[in-house]
Amino acid sequence: MRFIKRAQELGFPLAEIDTLLLLADGDLDRCDGVRALTADKIIVLRRRIAGRQALEAGLTNLVTTSNRPRTRRDCPILHELGEMDQL
* pLDDT value of position 44: 92
4-53 pLDDT, tens digit each: 999 999 889 999 998 888 888 776 677 888 888 899 999 999 999 999 99
Predicted confidence band at 73 (pLDDT cuts at 50, 70, 90)? low
pTM of this structure: 0.61
CA-closest candidate to residue 40, choices 73, 11, 80, 6: 11
pLDDT over threshold 90, residue 70: no
What one-character DSSP code corresponds to residue 68?
S
* pLDDT value of position 47: 95
Q: Where are the domains of the chain?
A: 2-85
* pLDDT value of position 72: 61
53 vs 42: CA distance, rounded Å: 16
CA-closest candidate to residue 57, choices 65, 69, 46: 65
51: helix, strand or coil: helix
